């Protein structure tokens, strides 16, 4: 006789569901967040277009050139003025994003703290932009027709450097990190078993707990850094809201990114995208300056004032390429899910249901829409939908079928 209760329980374990009140809230949050994404993108285009049309760039250039004759000084003065102008004009959508996160209880950060983080981000942006402009325009002056490929080559060590310093210098400016062994010694021991099963050597000294709860309610864990700066980070919100077994799956997923070389794949793909963007930007800027350069008071491509034109081209290219880059990211995340399931098998009892439960909690806390539209999923999702992840995790069972595993035998 068919046990309907057992069937219903099995189906529930394989499906991401929300109670009616939370479902309505998740749908409303998804709609508002998706709408804001597209509004922010087009508003960003408008901001840079205004900077170009109102000849703000040439005014900043004149200030920089009157202040100093040294190119590096001009780069930092012009870059600081440009970053502050565009980011202050772009504040409305940033404020809307924080207000939305507070309204739907994704953020607990006060406005004073939020503005201080924004200010720190501006300081970092000014420092990075000044250096990039100095390098870029030095290359443009020396090679007006091939600058895009030479700057691309120069950008590769910059990307690697930023990835190396981010976990040790930049992220601690915004969050507090504590060695995981000092706060969760039992969890570190359990993680050690998963690490050993994966054939890796990740010492406890590279495992950290991040004080995410001071600013957000969402859950996460991640791998960051390169070489000596590589580390595994687990948010304290994840530790509080998931069981140790569920955290082990989350860790296994993140370890999968490390083992499968996803960081290097992302670096390679980012470099490829940047090369394409620079080539397109080279042609777009030449065409735009031939047509409107005199009207915009931009002398030539080597003029500091041409930077907003390149910024606008990059912003448009980045927006249009979102479906491609997000599709690649979804593939990597799915592969990490497979690795996570396989690496905890035999360590965590009933690992498929544990993984499905972890995704269920993740969806509940982050108010993930159970049924996103195909267009939104195609354009915006850099991870598979929570519904797809719950379904896959609950039904992935190569062991029961006697099938070979994909990554961990």
Residues 290 and 362 grouped into a single domain: no
Residue-number span of the structural domain to which 213 is assigned: 175-260+325-395
In sequence order, what are the beta bridge partners of 210?
A: 177, 235
Contact of 280 with 313, CB cutoff 8 Å: yes
Residues 195 and 316 grouped into a single domain: no
Residues 95 and 161 grouped into a single domain: yes
Residues 214 and 283 grouped into a single domain: no
H-helix or E-strand spanning residue 224? strand 221-224
Of 320, 338, 360, which closes a domain? 320
Count of domains observed in the chain: 2
State the CB neighbour count (10 A cutoff) for residue 375. 10
pLDDT value at residue 325? 96
Fill in the DSSP letter of residue 315: H
Q: What CATH number does residue 249 fall under?
A: 3.30.2010.10
pLDDT in tens, 296-307: 999 999 999 999
Q: Would you say residue 109 lies in a domain?
A: yes
Residue 401 confidence class, pLDDT cut points 50, 70, 90: confident
| Two structure tokens written together for 395 | 């039904």
* Helix ranges (DSSP H) in 143-179: 147-165
Q: How far apart are CA 250 and CA 341, in angstroms?
A: 9
Cα–Cα distances (Å) from 192 to 165, 209, 345, 405, 407, in that order, read 26, 15, 14, 22, 19
pLDDT value at residue 215? 97
Is pLDDT at 6 greater than 60 in this prediction?
Answer: no
Is pLDDT at 10 greater than 50 in this prediction?
Answer: no
Q: Is pTM beyond 0.75 here?
A: yes
């Amino acid at each position: 006789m068919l046990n309907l209760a057992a069937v219903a329980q099995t189906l529930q374990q394989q499906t991401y569901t929300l109670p009616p009140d939370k479902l309505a809230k998740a749908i409303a949050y998804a709609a508002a967040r998706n709408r804001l994404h597209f509004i922010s993108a087009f508003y960003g285009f408008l901001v840079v277009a205004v900077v170009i049309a109102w000849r703000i760039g040439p005014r900043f250039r004149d200030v920089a050139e009157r202040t100093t004759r040294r190119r590096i000084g001009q780069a930092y003065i012009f870059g600081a003025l440009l970053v502050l102008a565009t980011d202050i004009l772009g504040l409305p959508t940033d404020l809307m994003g924080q207000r939305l996160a507070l309204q739907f209880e994704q953020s607990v950060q006060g406005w004073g703290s939020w503005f201080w983080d924004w200010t720190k981000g501006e300081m970092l942006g000014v420092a990075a932009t000044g250096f990039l402009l100095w390098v870029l325009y030095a290359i443009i002056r020396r090679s007006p027709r091939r600058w895009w490929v030479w700057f691309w080559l120069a950008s590769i060590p910059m990307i690697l450097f930023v990835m190396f310093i981010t976990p040790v210098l930049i992220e601690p400016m915004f969050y507090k990190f504590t060695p995981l062994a000092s706060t969760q010694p039992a969890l570190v021991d359990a993680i050690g078993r998963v690490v050993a099963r994966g054939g890796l050597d990740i010492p406890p000294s590279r495992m950290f707990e991040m004080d995410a709860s001071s600013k957000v309610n969402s859950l996460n864990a991640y791998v960051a850094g390169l070489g000596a700066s590589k580390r595994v980070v687990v948010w304290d919100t994840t530790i509080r809201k998931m069981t140790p077994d569920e955290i082990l799956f989350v860790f296994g997923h993140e370890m999968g990114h490390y083992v499968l070389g996803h960081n290097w794949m992302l670096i390679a793909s980012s470099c490829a995208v940047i090369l394409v963007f620079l080539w397109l930007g080279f042609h777009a800027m030449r065409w735009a300056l031939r047509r409107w350069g005199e009207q915009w008071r931009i002398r030539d491509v080597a003029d500091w004032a041409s930077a907003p034109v390149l910024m606008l081209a990059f912003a448009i290219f980045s927006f249009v390429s979102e479906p491609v880059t997000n599709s690649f990211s979804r593939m990597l995340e799915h592969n990490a899910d497979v690795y996570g399931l396989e690496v905890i098998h035999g360590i965590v009892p009933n690992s498929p249901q544990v993984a499905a439960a972890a995704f269920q909690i993740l969806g509940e806390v982050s108010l993930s829409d159970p049924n996103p539209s195909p267009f939104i999923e195609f354009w915006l999702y850099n991870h598979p939908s929570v519904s797809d992840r719950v379904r896959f995790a609950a039904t992935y069972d190569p062991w029961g079928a006697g099938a070979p595993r994909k990554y961990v035998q």
